[in-house]
C-alpha cells in the first residue's frame, strides 16, 4: 500500500490555501496564508515555498513521504512550461516560472492548472461528481468559471480556453462582458450579474417589492440579498432569480447537449442559494435538454465548498505517482 | 512495419459503403452495395458479411492480413455490447446484435460507433482536422449531427448523446424540433431547416426575388437552390443564408467557448456551398467567440466528402492493433 501524501495548493487573490492529502484524496492537514500581492506579486511563490517547507518541518515529515505538489491558480497557465501569465488579482503581469521556483524550493515535483479546472477536478473526484468519467463543473462567483472533464480527463482545448463556460453566449445583443462580447453567461449568473439584472429589472418594475425599495434607496445589493428576498416571496427578487435560472438552465442544457456528462455540478458563492436555485435551473434545463440528455445528465450542487480547490489541485500530483 | 489492413464500413439508409485501408488510413479499395431495408432490415448484416467475405476472396486476401473491421451506423449504439437500436431508416426497431453477427460471419474483430462520430473521426484523422487532439465536426445534412474529439478521443458522454450538436438550442421559443424541443440548431441549419426558413421569410418579404417567386409558384425548394440564388445576389436568399450562418456561428462559437478545439469542421450536404457559407459563419463565430477562442480555434470545411465515414469507421479497428 502506498502511504505517500499529496500536497494541494489553492492560490487565490486573498488567501493561499494548502492541504496535505492521502493519495485517496482525504485531507489530513489544512492551513492557509494571506496572499501578499505587493511588489508585482513577487512574494507569492517564495511565500508558498516557505509555507510548505515550514509545515513539513512542523509535522516532522520529509520529501520522500510525498508524491508531489499540485496547484490551482488564476490567470493563463502553460501546463508544459509550468508558467502563469495575466493573473491580475495577483498583480502578476509578467510570465511567472512557478513550477521551476516551487520545485527548486521544495525539492518535490509540481504540476499546475487553472483554479476553476482544479475545483472541477476536486468535485469530480471527491464531491458531487462521484468520481465519474464525464463531469461538468460550473462555479458562480465574482465571475463564472468552469472545468470540464470528459473521458476522465480535463478538457483544455488547443489554447487552454476549454471550460470557459462563463463566456458562452446566452443572450445575443445582451449585456456587454469584460471580454468584449455581448451576452456572456457571466453577465447574468455571476454575483455581479445577479445584481446587474436586479438593478435593471427594478427600473422597469412599478409594484411593491422590498428589493426595489432597497435599490431605490441606494442600499448596497448582493446576490445573497436577492436570493434571500426571493425565498421570502419578494416579487421582483423572484423575477430576477427566474432570469438567472433561465440563463443557467439554457447554458447547462447546451453544454449537456454537446457533452452528455453524467453530472453537471453547480458551485461557487451564488450556489449557496442551494436547492432554491437548483430546482429552477433544473426546470429550464429540462426545457432545453435533448431527451436522452434530459434523462441521463444529472444536475447537482457542489459538495466540497472551499476544499474543492485543494483537493483537485492535489489530484494533479497523482501524475507523479508512478514516476520515480 | 505493420502491413496489415483495416476494413471500414459506412452503413446508411440507401447504400452501404466499404473500404480497405492501410493502418495509416489510406484507402486502397472501395465498393458499395444497396441497403436492403426489407423484412425489418434483417438482410443488412448478412449482406455486410457476405460483401466483405466476397471481396476478400476477390482480392485473394485472408483474415490474418487484417487488424479488424470498424463500422458507422445510424441509431443508438451500445459500443460495449456491439448492438444497435432505433435505426428507423434501416427498419431496425429491435436491438440488433451487429458485432456478434459480423465477428461470427467474418472471423475478424469488429467495433462500431454512430455515423456522425465516425465521420468526425475520419475528418480528424485524414481530413480537415489534421490529426489534431481537439476537433469538433458538424455535419449539415437532412439533420444536423456531430462528432466531438477532445484529448484525442471521441466524447460519448454518459448515455451516448455526446456530440448531439443538432440539438443545441439556438433560438429559445423557435421552430419545434422532432426531438420535442423548440429552437434546435437542426431546425435552422439542416437542409430542411434552410427550406423552412426560406418559406417563412418569403411570406414576410414583399420585394422582388427569384426565390420568393419560386416559393409563391409552389416550386420545390432545396437548400442548394437557396444557396445558389444567394450567390447570384437574390435578396431574400441572402437573408435566409444570413440567418442560417448566424445560428451556425452562434452554435460553433458556444461549442468552442466550451471546448476550445483546434478545428471546428463543417461538412455534410449543406456545406457544399463552400467558402460562401464558411465566410459568413466565420463572421458570426468571431462575434460570439471568447477572445482566446477567436484566435485559436479555426473553422474549416470538411475535406473528405463521402469517404469520411469509411475512414473514420476503419480507425475504430485500430484498437485491435496490439491485441493478438
ipTM: 0.94
Across the interface, do B257 and A159 touch by the CB < 8 Å criterion?
no
Which chain B residues are within 8 Å of A243, Cβ to Cβ? Answer: none
Per-domain residue ranges for chain B? 5-121+307-320, 132-301
Size of interface A-B (CB pairs under 8 A): 165
Q: Does A278 touch chain B (CB under 8 A)?
A: no
Across the interface, do B259 and A155 touch by the CB < 8 Å criterion?
yes
pLDDT at A323: 66
Alpha helix positions (H), chain A: 38-41, 44-58, 98-106, 115-126, 186-189, 191-204, 210-216, 223-231, 235-259, 275-288, 291-296, 307-316
Across the interface, do B161 and A290 touch by the CB < 8 Å criterion?
yes
Chain A window 283-322: which residues touch B at a Cβ cutoff of 8 Å?
Answer: 287-293, 295-297
Residue A67 predicted with pLDDT over 60: yes
**pLDDT-based confidence at residue B162 (cuts at 50, 70, 90):** very high
Q: Which residue of B has its CA nearest to A146?
A: B258
Task: Quick: pLDDT tens for A206-265.
Answer: 999 999 999 999 999 999 999 999 999 999 999 999 999 999 999 999 999 999 999 999
In which residue are the cell numbers 437557396 written? B226
Positive or negative, the Cα torsion across A24, A27, A28, A34?
positive
In a 13 Å sphere around the CA of B69, the CA atoms on its Cβ side amount to 29
d(C-alpha B28, C-alpha B18), whole Å? 11
- Count, in order, helices (H) and strands (E) of chain B: 12, 12
d(C-alpha B9, C-alpha B45), whole Å? 11
Q: What is the DSSP letter of A35?
A: -
Q: Which residue of B has its CA nearest to A186?
A: B290
d(C-alpha A143, C-alpha A162), whole Å? 16
**B98-102: which pairs have CB atoms within 8 A and are 24 or more residues apart?**
B98/B45, B98/B71, B98/B73, B101/B45, B101/B46, B101/B49, B102/B45, B102/B48, B102/B49, B102/B69, B102/B71
Q: Across chain B, what does the average pLDDT equal?
A: 96
**pLDDT-based confidence at residue B76 (cuts at 50, 70, 90):** confident
pLDDT at B324: 53
Across the interface, do A260 and B158 touch by the CB < 8 Å criterion?
yes
- Return the CATH architecture of domain B5-121+307-320: 2-Layer Sandwich (3.30)
- DSSP helix/strand/coil, B32: strand
Which site among A155, A257, A260, A292 would you substitute to test the B interface, given the most B Cβ atoms closer than 10 Å to its Cβ? A257
Q: How far is B288 from chain A (nearest CA, A)?
A: 7
Average pLDDT over residues B59-84: 95
pLDDT at A88: 86
Q: Does B176 touch chain A (CB under 8 A)?
A: no
pLDDT at A2: 87
Q: Which residue of A has its CA nearest to B159?
A: A296
Q: How far is B194 from chain A (nearest CA, A)?
A: 21
Q: How far is A242 from chain B (nearest CA, A)?
A: 15
| CATH class name, domain B132-301 | alpha beta
Return the C-alpha torsion angle B306, B311, B313, B314, nearest 10. 150
Amino acid at each position: 500500500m502506498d502511504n505517500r501524501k499529496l500536497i494541494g495548493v489553492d492560490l487565490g487573490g486573498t488567501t493561499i490555501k494548502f492541504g496535505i492529502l492521502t493519495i485517496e484524496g482525504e485531507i489530513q492537514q489544512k492551513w492557509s496564508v494571506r496572499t501578499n500581492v505587493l511588489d508585482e506579486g513577487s512574494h507569492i511563490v517564495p511565500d508558498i515555498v516557505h509555507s510548505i517547507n515550514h509545515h513539513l518541518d512542523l509535522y516532522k515529515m520529509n520529501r520522500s513521504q510525498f508524491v508531489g505538489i499540485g496547484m490551482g491558480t488564476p490567470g493563463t497557465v502553460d501546463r508544459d512550461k509550468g508558467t502563469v501569465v495575466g493573473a491580475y488579482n495577483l498583480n502578476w503581469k509578467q510570465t511567472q516560472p512557478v513550477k521551476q521556483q516551487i520545485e527548486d524550493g521544495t525539492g518535490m515535483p509540481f504540476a499546475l492548472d487553472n483554479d476553476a479546472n482544479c475545483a472541477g477536478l476536486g468535485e469530480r473526484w471527491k464531491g458531487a461528481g462521484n468520481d465519474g468519467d464525464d463531469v461538468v463543473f460550473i462555479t458562480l462567483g465574482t465571475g463564472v468559471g468552469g472545468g470540464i472533464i470528459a473521458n476522465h480527463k480535463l478538457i483544455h482545448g488547443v489554447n487552454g480556453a476549454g471550460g470557459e463556460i462563463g463566456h458562452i453566449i446566452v443572450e445575443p445583443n445582451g449585456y456587454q462582458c469584460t471580454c468584449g462580447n455581448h451576452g456572456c453567461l457571466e453577465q447574468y449568473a455571476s454575483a455581479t450579474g445577479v445584481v446587474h439584472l436586479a438593478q435593471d429589472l427594478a427600473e422597469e418594475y412599478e409594484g411593491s417589492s422590498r428589493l426595489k425599495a432597497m435599490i431605490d434607496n441606494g442600499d448596497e445589493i448582493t446576490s445573497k440579498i436577492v436570493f434571500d428576498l426571493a425565498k421570502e416571496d419578494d416579487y421582483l427578487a423572484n423575477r430576477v432569480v427566474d432570469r438567472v435560472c433561465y440563463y443557467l438552465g439554457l447554458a447547462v442544457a447546451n453544454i449537456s447537449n454537446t457533452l452528455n456528462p453524467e453530472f453537471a455540478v453547480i458551485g461557487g458563492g451564488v450556489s449557496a442559494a442551494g436547492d432554491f436555485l437548483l430546482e429552477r435551473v433544473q426546470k429550464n434545463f429540462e426545457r432545453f435538454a435533448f431527451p436522452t440528455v434530459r434523462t441521463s445528465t444529472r444536475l447537482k450542487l457542489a459538495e466540497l465548498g472551499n476544499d474543492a480547490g485543494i483537493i483537485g489541485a492535489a489530484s494533479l500530483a497523482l501524475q507523479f505517482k508512478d514516476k520515480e
